[in-house]
């Protein structure tokens, strides 16, 4: 590939192949094969469909894998595209259903209604318009979304570079290398106002402009794919569903700052992503889109992957660079910033996966296009991973400025099983919990920070009335204690002390003085830590203390856990009126704490009870009450 | 340094040496070398760390420092089957701790430890990124989505032979 025209020719051909324009009665069947899909059993489904097509030697049927379709709850998902017809989305597909779909739909052209997304609960909740939905794009889940970073996820085959090219892939790189100067590129990025999607929200164009003027024999671009925030998986999804977008963006960044080498630092917990990256890098090299003299511009760029080994702190840029260098991932003081002294002391730009995935789009469509989404200070879209107690778990991409309510209720469908919404946790271990009073906040970097949480990488965990907020704070502290690299004493020791206090409270031994102590410690840890991990570690505690202080007080003063979660604070009692004296609970009690005779109400001895909950779960009459 | 371990695993050491030869001239090779070594041996006993040190001229102290820093590296041999329960936030709020407790009870081991018969190692994993399928348990390569504590005993049976 030497010129932009070459690429355009390949694009034409790829579009023809992707849309199967030269094929009569073309049918394209895609199976979602990201980690979620594979875990839910998508591989045998793909195999069945591919075998059926092959067995009949059907040249008009394309069976391919794709990345994350986005609606994890419904995996494995199969989508059938017939030109000129509405796409059909099948959910919870297994090999048996796949066979039926093949025979009914693909061979005979009859949609198998009972397996489509329209057949599920989605319909019953959302079919106010009385219309039958068979396609995913029509359901409420997708209506409010705008897909920029995820635009190809769930649509193209990530292991085929030509499908990426068919969707204008590498056009931005071609345009940048043949028509723009590095300064032009940086200007577009600054104008677009893209901010770091890894959490901190630093303007990407600005970051590049710091590194560009530095003179050095070598500069580096690093893709931060160490997505450690538990509950966030958009970076995995991009890498698995559209890896070339990341490679293209890194090459563009390389050109902008004058770097010729890129590293992708990716979590070892993401084997599928790593494998697809390797395939993508090989394909890009083969077509000359990575390597020497790309587009005959004299610009060289190549990319290598580096695997993490399970350390959350390595998502922090200075720690990440230490890890690539083969050392313990411990953060260091800034300045010098990586743009001046980064990897092996050379100027380095580090961008997160989702940030990078936006870049080819920005360069291809222009800054104005990108700014047409989002708010004045936070342009574009943001991907959120909806998880926890929410009906539609999955990945959603919405314009900045969308409210939490729209994301959680309109798209996410609210809490399942009729439970009451209690809180939403954003920003992972660095963020905080927000309450129902915050639901109408338009989401952007500043608003979330002002409310006591943060954007973070985009994990959004919903909690309902059964989740104890003190225990959630304890859970996050346990995580940070584990993941603190140990360099700064306030973080290493301070978080441990905070965890100790939280454990004391959840066990019912807390005092009101402990709450003051927690706040004092939180301030010290925030002030005395070098990197983001320590500086933000107290956030989950501070935000729960701020918004759910009554729960802390209930644990301390009343010795009760309002969410009935903290075991040491629970009591199990038998309701005499409901107990039939069946003796089941007494037989299942491991410590013989239940007394009673057949057909007479039983009694639990509070002294002997170890609160294992066996009696509660075995009772068929709802007679055991948890308080 | 000659001992039983080195004698018994000669071919594995040879494989590791061949790998080191391919990366020897690159920068920052320690992490990937340790990952390769753990792939080959299953764990990183002192003998393996010493061997890497001898081959790469990286001080053993530095290697030990790195091995003990990252949670994925282990200096102890693991059981035949590795069981991981995701304790990421999404799984945790959906009750993965109960699953962990149940496994710990059934196998009679603590989290992070290996059963006496070396059959199972029970571990808390970091977020696996399939939060939509929470809570998630993983045994070797098999993923058990939307796991429930009451299914633990039955699933374990499948791996007990």
B interface residues, A as partner, C-beta within 8 Å: 27-32, 34-35, 58, 62, 65-66, 69-73, 87-90, 92-94, 125-134, 136, 143, 145
Question: Could A230 and B28 be called an inter-chain contact, meaning their C-beta atoms sit closer than 8 Å?
Answer: no
d(CA A381, CA A46): 32
Of A397, A400, A443, A413, residue with least CA distance to A145: A397
Q: How many CB pairs under 8 A join A and B?
A: 131
A441 in B contact zone (CB under 8 Å): no
> Which of A238, A213, A443 shows the shortest CA–CA distance to A352?
A238
Residue A303 phi, psi dihedral angles, 5° rounding: -130, 140
SS3 A146: coil
CB contact (8 A) between residue A425 and residue B34: no
User: In chain B, what residues touch A306 (CB-CB under 8 Å)?
Assistant: 28, 31-32
HSE at residue A170, side-chain half, CA atoms within 13 A, is 31
ipTM of the complex: 0.91
Instruction: Name the minimum distance, in Å, from the CA of A420 to any CA of chain B.
Output: 15
How far does the CA of residue B103 sit from the closest CA of chain A (Å)? 15
Q: Do A306 and B90 touch (CB under 8 A)?
A: no
Q: Does residue A328 belong to the interface with chain B, where contact is any CB pair within 8 Å?
A: yes
Q: How many CA atoms lie within 13 A of A469 on its CB side?
A: 29
- Quote the pLDDT of residue A267: 93
User: What is the pLDDT, as a whole number, of residue A465?
Assistant: 95
**With contacts defined as CB-CB under 8 Å, which chain B residues touch A461?**
89-90, 93
Q: Residues 335-394, chain A: which have Cβ within 8 Å of B?
A: 344, 385, 387-389, 393-394
Q: Over the stretch B68-92, which tens digit does the pLDDT of each residue have?
A: 999 999 999 999 999 999 999 899 9
Residue B65 confidence (pLDDT): 96
pLDDT band at A130 (very low <50, low <70, confident <90, very high): very low
A311 to B130: CB separation less than 8 angstroms, yes or no: no
From CA A423, how far away is CA A460, in angstroms rounded?
Answer: 10
Of A310, A324, A475, which is closest to B126 when you measure between CB atoms? Answer: A310
H or E element that contains A174? helix A171-179
Q: How far is CA A272 from CA A67, A329, B21, B128, in A?
A: 10, 24, 27, 11
Mean pLDDT (chain A) is 93
The per-residue pLDDT for range A32-84, each reduced to its tens digit, is 999 989 999 999 999 999 999 999 999 999 999 999 888 888 999 999 999 88
User: From the CA of B117, how many Å to the nearest CA of chain A?
Assistant: 26
Note the pLDDT tens digit of each residue in A579-622.
999 999 999 998 999 999 999 999 999 999 988 888 998 999 99
User: What mean pLDDT do residues A284-301 have?
Assistant: 97
- Assess A228–B contact: CB distance below 8 Å, yes or no: yes
Q: How sure is the predictor about A137, in pLDDT bands with cuts at 50, 70 and 90?
A: low
Q: Do A72 and B128 touch (CB under 8 A)?
A: no
Indicate if the pLDDT at residue A131 is higher than 60.
no
Predicted confidence (pLDDT) per residue in A339-369, tens digit: 999 999 999 999 999 999 999 999 999 999 9
Q: pTM for this one? A: 0.93
pLDDT tier at A212, thresholds 50, 70, 90: very high
Residues of chain A with pLDDT > 70: what percent?
Answer: 97
Cα of A20 vs its chain's centroid, Å: 33
A376-401 tens-digit pLDDT: 999 999 999 999 999 999 999 999 99
Nearest chain B Cα to A426, which residue? Answer: B89
CB A472 within 8 A of CB A543: no
Chain A hits for B126, Cβ within 8 Å: 228, 230, 269, 310, 312
Nearest chain B residue to A234, by CA: B129
| pLDDT more than 90, % of chain A | 87
> HEC states along A309-336?
CCCHHHHCHHHHHHHHCCCCCCCCCCCC
List all residues of chain A from 392 to 431 with a beta carbon under 8 Å from chain B.
393-394, 425, 428
Mean pLDDT taken over chain B: 93
Averaged pLDDT, A85-105: 94
- Minimal Cα–Cα distance from B26 to chain A, Å? 11
Residue B15: what pLDDT? 97
Structure tokens at A73: 């709850």
């Amino acid at each position: 590939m030497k010129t932009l025209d070459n690429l355009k020719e390949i694009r034409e051909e790829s579009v023809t192949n992707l849309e199967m324009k030269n094929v009569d009665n073309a049918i394209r069947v895609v199976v979602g094969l990201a980690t979620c899909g594979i875990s839910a059993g998508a591989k045998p489904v793909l195999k069945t469909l591919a075998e059926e097509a092959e067995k009949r030697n059907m040249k008009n049927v394309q069976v391919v894998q794709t990345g994350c379709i986005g609606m994890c709850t419904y995996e494995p998902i199969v989508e059938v595209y017939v030109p000129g017809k509405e796409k059909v989305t099948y959910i919870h597909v297994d090999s048996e259903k796949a066979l039926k779909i093949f025979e009914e739909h693909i061979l005979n052209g009859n949609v198998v209604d009972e397996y489509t997304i329209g057949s599920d609960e989605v319909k019953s909740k959302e079919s106010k318009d009385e219309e039958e939905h068979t396609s995913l794009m029509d359901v409420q889940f997708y209506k409010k979304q705008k897909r920029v970073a995820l635009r190809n996820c769930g649509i193209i085959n990530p292991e085929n570079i030509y499908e990426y090219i068919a969707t204008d892939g590498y056009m931005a790189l071609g345009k940048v290398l043949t028509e723009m100067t590095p300064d032009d590129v940086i200007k577009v990025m600054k104008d677009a106002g893209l901010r770091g999607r890894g959490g901190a929200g630093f303007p990407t164009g600005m970051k590049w402009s710091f590194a560009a003027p530095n003179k050095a024999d070598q500069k580096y671009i690093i893709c931060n794919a160490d997505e450690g925030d538990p509950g966030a998986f958009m970076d995995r999804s991009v890498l698995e569903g559209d890896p070339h977008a990341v490679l293209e963006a890194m090459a563009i960044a390389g050109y902008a700052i004058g770097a010729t080498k890129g590293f992708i630092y990716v979590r070892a917990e993401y084997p599928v992503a790593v494998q697809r990256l390797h395939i993508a890098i090989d394909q890009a090299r083969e077509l000359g889109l990575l390597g020497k003299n790309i587009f005959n511009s004299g610009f060289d760029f190549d990319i290598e992957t580096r695997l993490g080994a399970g350390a959350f702190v390595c998502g922090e840029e200075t720690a990440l660079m230490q890890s690539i260098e083969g050392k313990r991932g411990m953060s260091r003081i800034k300045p010098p910033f990586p743009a001046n002294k980064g990897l092996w002391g050379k100027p380095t730009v580090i961008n997160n996966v989702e940030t990078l995935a936006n870049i080819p789009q920005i360069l291809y469509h222009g800054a104005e296009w990108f700014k047409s989404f989002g708010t004045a200070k936070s342009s574009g879209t943001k991907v959120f991973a909806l998880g926890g107690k929410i009906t539609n778990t999955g990945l959603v991409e919405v314009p900045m400025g969308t409210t939490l309510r729209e994301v959680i209720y309109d798209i996410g469908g609210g809490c399942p099983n009729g439970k009451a919404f209690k809180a939403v946790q954003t920003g992972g271990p660095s963020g905080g919990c927000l309450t129902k009073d915050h639901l109408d906040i338009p989401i952007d970097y500043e608003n979330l920070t002002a409310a006591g949480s943060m954007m973070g990488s985009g994990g959004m965990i919903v909690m309902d009335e059964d989740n104890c907020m003190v225990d959630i704070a304890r859970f996050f502290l346990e995580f940070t204690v584990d993941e603190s690299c140990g360099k700064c004493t306030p973080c290493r020791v301070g978080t441990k002390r905070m965890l100790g206090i939280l454990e004391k409270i959840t066990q019912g031994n807390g005092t009101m003085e402990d709450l003051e102590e927690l706040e004092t410690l939180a301030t010290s840890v925030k002030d005395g830590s070098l990197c983001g991990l320590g500086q933000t570690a107290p956030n989950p505690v501070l935000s729960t203390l701020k918004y759910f202080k009554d729960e802390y007080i209930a644990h301390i003063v009343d010795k009760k856990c309002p969410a009935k979660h903290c075991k040491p604070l629970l009591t199990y009692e038998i309701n005499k009126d409901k107990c039939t004296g069946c003796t089941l609970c007494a037989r299942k009690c491991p410590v013989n704490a239940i007394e009673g005779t057949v057909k007479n109400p039983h009694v639990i001895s509070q002294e002997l009870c170890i609160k294992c909950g066996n009696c509660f779960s075995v009772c068929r009459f709802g007679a055991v009450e948890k308080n | 340094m000659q001992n039983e371990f080195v004698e018994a695993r000669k071919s594995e050491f040879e494989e590791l040496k061949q790998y080191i030869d391919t990366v020897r001239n690159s920068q920052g090779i320690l992490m990937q070398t340790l990952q390769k070594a753990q792939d080959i041996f299953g764990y990183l006993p002192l003998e393996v760390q010493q061997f890497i040190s001898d081959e790469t001229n990286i001080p053993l102290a530095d290697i030990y420092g790195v091995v003990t820093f990252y949670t994925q590296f282990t200096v102890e041999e693991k059981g035949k089957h590795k069981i991981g329960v995701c304790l990421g936030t999404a799984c945790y709020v959906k009750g993965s701790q109960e699953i962990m407790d149940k496994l710990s009870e059934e196998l009679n081991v603590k989290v992070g430890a290996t059963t006496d018969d070396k059959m199972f190692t029970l571990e808390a994993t970091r977020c696996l990124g399939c939060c939509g399928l929470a809570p998630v348990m993983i045994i070797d390569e098999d993923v058990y989505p939307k796991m429930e504590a009451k299914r633990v005993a039955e699933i374990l049976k499948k791996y007990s032979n």
